[in-house]
Structure formats: structure tokens, C-alpha cells
Amino acid sequence: MGYLTMDPERLLRTGFAAPEVAEGAWCTRWDGVTDAAGLCANLLPPVIDFHTSGSTGPARCWRRLQENVWREAGMLADLIAPGRPEAIVSFVPSLHLYGALTSVLMPAWLGLPVWFRPAFVGAMPDVPVRRIAVVATPWIFKLLLEHIGWVRRFEHVTVLYGGAMLPASAGLLLREAERAEIVEVLGSTEAGGVASRRWSEGEPPEWTLFPDVSFAGTTAPGKEVPLSVRGPRLAFRPGERPPDRWTADDIVIPLDDRTFRLVGRTGRLVKVNGRRINLDDAEHALRPVLDCDDLALVPISDELTGEHVELHVVLHPGTQLSDLDLATAIRRLGVRPKCVRAVPRIERSALGKAVTTTKKAEVATP
């Protein structure tokens, strides 16, 4: 894979959503720019439009002030700064807010060269430094494990991750690459970055709010509540003003006025036969025991129980559902899925969130 050298001015003028930027492989050297802030201020529009991925509803346009986008890039830069990166390798397309921030503006803020790679296949970039930051999606942990020799070349690797729940391969990467750490960001197109956490071994710590974010309203420590926040970077719809607060579909347990424990997303929390299941956690537990290309737990309505789940799997070529260890999977899940379906593929957003599953094929009742 060849990387097109794209100078900073051309990168900004082309635009975050242009195919050349969002889909091509390129390298931009911000280390030679003396005033990146001024360049971005001059070439970016005063109001920048981004669109939700469509993973939790219809894709919608959300507007953000240029100054707030640049401010958030600086906050992300502060998160990876402790690792002292000398270059950035990003796998997150700039079409959406998180990719624009991490693939374009965060390198600009830090004054570092950045390589963007849009594809899962192809050669890893030849990055002539000792310490790097990698901006990852869920599938990139598998890619890094497949290129563990490339990872081990570096003195230190900081993996910046935002999106769906971390895959099991993230923990495996930390074990295989001794000088690596993961920095997670929780946020959305509507709110931008809301909270973060950093870890390199053991169980991940609790989440801490971004410096300019606060809980909205009264929160009682130890009680489950929707994640509702205030902050100066909230996006707004065309023709509207920025909202006073943003409430996520996440359920959290505040621990104090700055930290919280994430329980799960409301659409991913179901109660089956009196037992509440976090489907993100459950998928995480099922992946090691089901030898398949991909899987997803899909919440459904049920006439008898009210709520239930189906297990959708993408089989390896030449295999059948009967080849999977479904008995062990069911024990890990704790309940029997309404059914198990083999599907051709599971549609996912750029950040790995399941959007839909395609036409159903083989079905098994566990």
C-alpha cells in the first residue's frame, strides 16, 4: 500500500468528508508547520457539519463551532501526550467527528506526522520513530496482533480508542506488546468527547469526565442514572441553538462529581426472565468461545417475556451452526437466546457499532 504525501494545506482544503481524505491512504507532516492553529482557523469553515453514523437511528446532521472542534482536538492531544508520541498512525476515517479530530486535527495540535490507513489489508506504514500513538477501531486490535512485529519495533505505543466496547483482542494486545497502553474516549457526535480512561493492565479503571464537562442536574453517588452532561462543546442542529445539556443512551453510576462507572447503553440492556443482560458485555464474553467471523446479540420483543435476544453469527466459509460450541456460549450468556441465526454479514459503523444484520439464513433453536 502506498501512502500519498498530502501537505497540511491541501488536507484541510480538500475537506474531512472528501473521498481522497476519508478513504485514501496518506501521510501529512505537521512537524514542519509553525502555526497549525492559524492554518486550521483560516482554512476550516466557522461551522463544521458532521453526521451521526446511523447505528442507533437515522443519520442526522450536527453542527459544531470550529473553535470547539479545535479545542477538543487539544484535549485529545493531552490524553495521549503522556506517552510522548513522535508520530500518529490512524485507522479512523475523517468522515465523522472522531476521525476528523484524531486523524487530522490532533496531529496538527501536536505538530506530529500522521499516517492514515483506511484498509484492513496492505502493508503497515514505515514510521521512523521510537514512540507512536495509534488511533484504533475495534478491528484494528486484530490487525495489530497480526503485525505484532511492527508493534514491538516501537519503544512505546499508545492506542487511542473511541466507539464500541473494546474487543477481547485489546487485552491480548496489551499482553503481547509489553510497552503499550490504551486510552479510551466515551462520546458522541452530539456531545463530542465526554469522558476518558487510561489503562495498560488488569481491569480498566472508572471513567473521568473531560475537563470542560460536568454532570447535568443532581446525581446521587451509587445510583444508576442516564448519563446527562453539560459543556461548551455540545453540537446543534441546523437552524437551532446549542442545547443546555445532552443526555446519552448510556446508564452510569456516578462515584463522585467527576467519575462514574458505565453500566451500559439503554438499547443494549435487556431483561430476560428477570435477569438483566448487558449485550455489549455478553458479546465480549461470547467471542472467545464461538469460532466465527463475527457475532452480534440482537434485542427483540417477545410476546411471553416482553424482551429477549437473538444471537446472529457470521460463519467461517464451509462451516455450519452445528460446528459452533453453542452449549458453552449459552452457559456464558446465562440465558437461552430465542434463536441463533447465521447471517451473511453484520453491518457496522466506522467505529464498529453494529447497525443491522443482513438477510437471515440458517437458523437454530438452542
Res 364 pLDDT > 80 = no
Res 274 pLDDT > 90 = no
Res 128 pLDDT > 90 = yes
Say whether both 260 and 284 belong to one domain: no
What pLDDT shows up at residue 72? 98
What pLDDT shows up at residue 164? 67
Say whether both 206 and 57 belong to one domain: yes
Res 331 pLDDT > 50 = yes
Comparing C-alpha atoms, which of 266, 261, 272 is closest to residue 248? 266
282: domain CATH number?
A: 3.30.300.30
Say whether both 103 and 237 belong to one domain: yes
Half-sphere exposure at residue 13, Cβ-oriented, CA atoms within 13 angstroms: 5
Residues 6 or more apart whose Cβ sits within 8 Å of residue 92:
98, 99, 102, 103, 135, 136, 137, 350, 351
What pLDDT shows up at residue 359? 46
Q: How far apart (Å, rounded) are the C-alpha atoms in residues 71 and 175? A: 34
164: domain CATH number?
A: 3.40.50.12780
Domain end, chosen from 216, 240, 264, is at: 264
Say whether both 96 and 211 belong to one domain: yes
Say whether both 159 and 87 belong to one domain: yes
Say whether both 250 and 285 belong to one domain: no
Which cell numbers hold the place of 229? 452532561
What pLDDT shows up at residue 229? 96
Res 125 pLDDT > 70 = yes
Percentage with pLDDT > 90 across the chain = 64
Which cell numbers hold the place of 71? 479545542
Q: How far apart (Å, rounded) are the C-alpha atoms in residues 174 and 38? A: 38
Domain interval for residue 300: 273-364
Say whether both 283 and 359 belong to one domain: yes
**What is the average pLDDT across 41-47?**
97
Say whether both 316 and 355 belong to one domain: yes
What pLDDT shows up at residue 259? 96
Q: How far apart (Å, rounded) are the C-alpha atoms in residues 333 and 337? A: 9
Of the pLDDT bands very low, low, confident and very high (cuts 50, 70, 90), residue 327 is: very high
Say whether both 246 and 345 belong to one domain: no
Q: Domain count for the chain, please give it.
A: 2
Tens digit of each residue's pLDDT (9 = 90 or more) over 288-314:
899 998 898 988 876 666 788 899 999
What pLDDT shows up at residue 308? 85
Say whether both 280 and 211 belong to one domain: no
User: Taking a C-beta distance cutoff of 8 angstroms, is the pair 155, 178 a contact?
Assistant: no
What pLDDT shows up at residue 58? 64
Mean residue pLDDT of the chain comes to 89
Residue 351 or 90, more confident: 90
**What is the average pLDDT across 232-252?**
93
**What is the average pLDDT across 64-77?**
97
Res 42 pLDDT > 50 = yes
Which of 82-91, 293-302, 323-332 reaches the highest mean pLDDT? Answer: 82-91
Which of 141-155, 167-181, 306-320 reaches the highest mean pLDDT? Answer: 141-155
Say whether both 322 and 179 belong to one domain: no
Domain end, chosen from 245, 264, 283, is at: 264
**What is the average pLDDT across 48-77?**
86
Residues 6 or more apart whose Cβ sits within 8 Å of residue 225:
219, 251, 252, 253, 254
Say whether both 193 and 215 belong to one domain: yes
Residue 347 or 168, more confident: 347
